[in-house]
Structure 1
């Protein structure tokens, strides 16, 4: 193994920058919905589809980008995604109607979704080429800081942009950032050593990427998300479509020569399945704090949305501080237990919040959730890295993010059901009880997962 650092700053910088764009764009648009509605003379309720469509596009595009990275090369997919972000930022910046903004958000959603799966594959290939026997914890930790922790920054950044330059800036800010990422990636990320598909028929290429599996997955996820967003009213059509296409997806993937989602792998690889489930459960709690508690702060304490978002900044800082040493040491089981316990404690704190609760107490609760965010982001990613082979890491990483989106959207559904008539203390307490139950479930999944002990033991041995 060469003494030269395989993960130089030139190699990782474009990966980190690209990974910040999806979470920031996910939350930043929330500050622009009211100005967009006023400009286009439509209701604010109609503009919320700009939030939904990016979640939907990202949920489908994350594992799809992973599959494409494995087949065509992560650098090609990463660069293509950056170009899509540029187009989305430009289209949104000149958008005249809601349809143009929807297309822009779809482009941004798909483009930003290429960053994390391709980055995981690039990192895995670089680590294996360098002969590393353990996960590159520092690199994975920084990637998580860029890709998950920065989600909290979207609201304050969006508030500043809208307040100073108008709602179009929430789209156009992507242009300079994407240009920088594009130049850095083109110059500093090594070219893919995966051969192109020359000489192969269109049918061969479609079979390799499993287009039918991707379409079935897309319809299933779309139906599921529409069903969740329709709650408390039950949309039986979308629920039925979710079940039908879910069954069809399993049937097809079990027979596909090159499956988009390896169902047999998920069936045999219980630890990987539990990692996905743990991440979805804890993400549900984190996003309930990000949006549910923020909404309650605005209603109960009369705090503007921009200031409510600033209250969450310390949560992001704590999570970044916690994430570093855990990733560096490749710790898994211990931090995951801390993650679930801290979520239980903080959720119990939410249970006793009232309109007269001092802000400092609310801040303490968000700081505890910062521990939850940092531990779940780092340890679940390390677990994922060790639970799949190198040739499947990109699709597995994309699916990991999809489970996170499902958790965040489920949290939105819970908030929408509980606060559907009025944002009051009793509703917040109902949400807190749900969070406690979900956190306890995550704790049980972690404690009884004996495979995590082997991962932790292996990491400690190779450190």
Structure 2
């Protein structure tokens, strides 16, 4: 019987006669995986116009960013698990179709509440792209006999880096030409393209999931109570991290109670949403998630926290601040390509750790009168971990996760990344207070340095990385 996640699009062969990666799968995988990051960045320059048009304060429009992060952090592992059960095609088409619906709702939204709801729908819709791509790569790995198609893994990382560069610029262009609503309307053609490519090119042999002879069918393997407890756990944690204030004292106990209930539930059920027994025994994968959390605390603190200081503490305009950070993403693209071709996973992580620590130390030397070229050097330094860490973490999860749970494992990686972003936002707010001054920037740099050192220690003392084989190129 043909595996229901095996490609059916007549793939070719390599020169040695072995099966080759079906490259017709690459376009839908790439466009699906970038839907989330492009919507994370394209709205950045539209927040002020949205506030002016709808009479909303900056604190209110900030929910347009947080709503997407909350929905995505929750939805990625849930949708990833559904992909594991039903295959990538169905979830990819449903998710990318939902992106188009959110684009229409956002374009026509009469008020901020509707706009936030559209961003929540958008967050859930974009959840399918990345786990689907990883699940497809796992199926292609089985079919071709390669450990993993490293060329495509690198392409996914580079595509996300590229989106980070062009997202704010594209958002500015769209806002200038068609107003802030154009940043939502963008999702309609993107959705149509993704759905069309997915319908034409993604494997359809999973259309009718088979009931296995030794277990329940896919529908009976959906752990709804586990998913609900996970939602309570994650939402209470994220809401507290977004605004850690004494009046939200009830959220940490609620998080703890949900975590205990979730663990008990998942250990006792036969078909868990997240197999905590297996995950708990997979120390290398847990270490990778911990590294991801530390890495993204540093990355998001720099992208958002340091940018605030360049405007308020250093005196740059928003456009100048954006241009100062551009080298970070450009260098990140180059590092991703180089690491994908030459570097082993452990080596790449060590390079990323060194880049983080060097950049944080340089931040501690900056002041309001530092020369502009030093800020550009800092941006270049941060480009090294920007490119190295994302690729190495992605490859680690692919190689360390249970093959039957590739989708949910990939979703959890994104969830830990968003946890890092929330921690970074909380640390930034605590460091700056009402004004992003130099003293606050130095406090932020010390916190970032602590996370960077933790990332280094988690890498140096992880023996599993020494034997983790670099994926073969496709």
Higher mean C-alpha displacement, 110-119 vs 323-332: 323-332
1:106 aligns with 2:117: no
Query: Deviations along 1:311-366, whole A, 9 cap, x unmatched?
Result: 22221111111112322346111111111111000001111111112222111111
What value does the CA root-mean-square deviation take over the aligned residues?
A: 2.2
Q: Give the match for residue 91 of structure 1.
A: 105
What per-residue deviation string (whole Å, max 9, x for no partner) do you get for residues 109-157 of structure 1? Answer: 111111000110011101211121x221111111122235533433232
Separation of aligned partners in 2, 1:220 and 1:263: 15
Deviates more, 1:235-244 or 1:187-196: 187-196
Q: SS of 1:312's equivalent? A: helix
Q: Which residue of 2 aligns with 1:358?
A: 371
CA contact (8 A) 1:148 1:377 kept: no
Say whether 1:25 aligns with 2:36: no
Distance in 1 (CA, whole Å) between partners of 2:232 and 2:353 is 32
The answer for unaligned runs of 5 or more in structure 2 is 1-11
* TM superposition score normalised by structure 1: 0.94
Once superposed, which parts of structure 1, at least 4 consecutive aligned residues long, lie more than 6 Å away? Answer: 460-463
- Give 1 or 2: higher helix fraction: 1
Tell me how far apart the structure 2 counterparts of residues 104 and 192 of structure 1 sit (CA, whole Å). 32
User: After superposition, what is the alpha-carbon deviation per residue over 1:242-270, rounded to whole angstroms, capped at 9, x for unaligned?
Assistant: 11111111111111211111111221111
CA drift at 1:196:
3.4
Deviations 1:258-314 (A, max 9, x none): 111111122111100000000110111011111011111111233232332232222
User: What corresponds to 1:12 in structure 2?
Assistant: 26
Inter-partner Cα distance in structure 2 for 1:249 and 1:8: 39
Using the alignment, how far apart are the partners of 2:473 and 2:309 within structure 1?
A: 47
Q: In 2, Cα distance between the equivalents of 1:460 and 1:28? A: 32
Please say if 1:449 is aligned against 2:462. yes
Aligned position for 2:13: 2
Counterpart Cα distance in 1 of 2:244 and 2:284: 31
Match of 1:223 among 225, 236, 248: 236
- 1:192 shift after superposition: 3.6
1:390 matches 2:403: yes
Q: Residue 306 and residue 258 in structure 1: after superposition, are their counterparts in 2 closer, same or farther (change >3 A)? A: farther
Tell me which residue corresponds to 2:159.
Answer: 146
Equivalent position to 1:422, from 419, 427, 435: 435
Deviation of 1:461 (Å): 9.6
Q: Does 1:374 align with 2:374?
A: no
> Once structures 1 and 2 are overlaid, which stretch shifts more, 64-73 or 233-242?
233-242
Query: In structure 1, what is the equivalent of residue 284 of structure 2?
Result: 271
List per-residue Cα deviations over 1:162-207 (Å, max 9, x = no partner): 23321101111111122112111111222143633799xxx97664
The answer for the alignment partner of 2:9 in structure 1 is none
Instruction: Select which of 46, 50, 71 maps to 1:36.
Output: 50
Which residue does 1:313 correspond to in 2?
326
Equivalent position SS for 1:258 = coil
109-118 or 350-359, larger mean C-alpha shift: 350-359
Q: Tell me the secondary structure at the aligned position of residue 301 of structure 2.
A: helix
CA distance in 2, matches of 1:381, 1:215: 27
Q: Find the aligned partners of 1:185 and 1:208 in 2 and give their Cα distance.
A: 25
Partner residue, 1:127: 141
Task: State whether structure 2 residue 78 is matched by structure 1 residue 64.
Answer: yes
C-alpha distance in 1 between matches for 2:362 and 2:282: 36
8 Å contact from structure 2 (residues 288, 397) kept in 1: yes
- Cα gap change, 1:234 to 1:344, in 2 (>3 Å): farther
Q: Is 2:274 aligned against 1:256?
A: no
2:7 is matched with none
SS of equivalent to 1:19: helix
Q: 1:137: which partner in 2?
A: 150
**Whole-Å separation in 2 of the counterparts to 1:372 and 1:234:** 37
TM-score scaled to structure 2, two decimals?
0.92
2:414 matched residue in structure 1: 401
Give the whole-Å Cα distance in 1 for the aligned partners of 2:165 and 2:225: 36
Give the whole-Å Cα distance in 1 for the aligned partners of 2:163 and 2:210.
Answer: 37
Q: Distance in 2 between matches of 1:459 and 1:99?
A: 46
CA, structure 1 residues 14+336, in 2 after alignment: closer, same or farther (shift >3 Å)? Answer: same
CA gap of 1:427–1:172, structure 2 versus 1, over 3 A, is: same
Contact 1:232 1:417 in 2 (8 A): no
Cα separation, 1, equivalents of 2:332 and 2:224: 38
Whether the 8 Å contact between 1:150 and 1:316 is mirrored in structure 2 is no
Q: Return the alpha-carbon distance in structure 2 between the equivalents of residues 117 and 187 of structure 1.
A: 19
Correspondence for 1:302 among 279, 304, 315? 315
Q: Distance in 2 between matches of 1:306 and 1:68?
A: 41
Question: In the aligned structure 2, how far is the partner of 1:155 from the partner of 1:43?
Answer: 21
Q: Against the structure 1 CA distance between its residues 84 and 251, is the aligned structure 2 distance closer, same or farther, given a 3 Å change threshold?
A: same
Count, aligned residues: 458
Aligned partner of 1:292 among 305, 309, 313: 305
Q: Is the 8 A contact 2:141 2:149 kept in 1?
A: yes
Is the 8 Å Cα contact of residues 68 and 120 (structure 2) preserved in structure 1?
A: yes
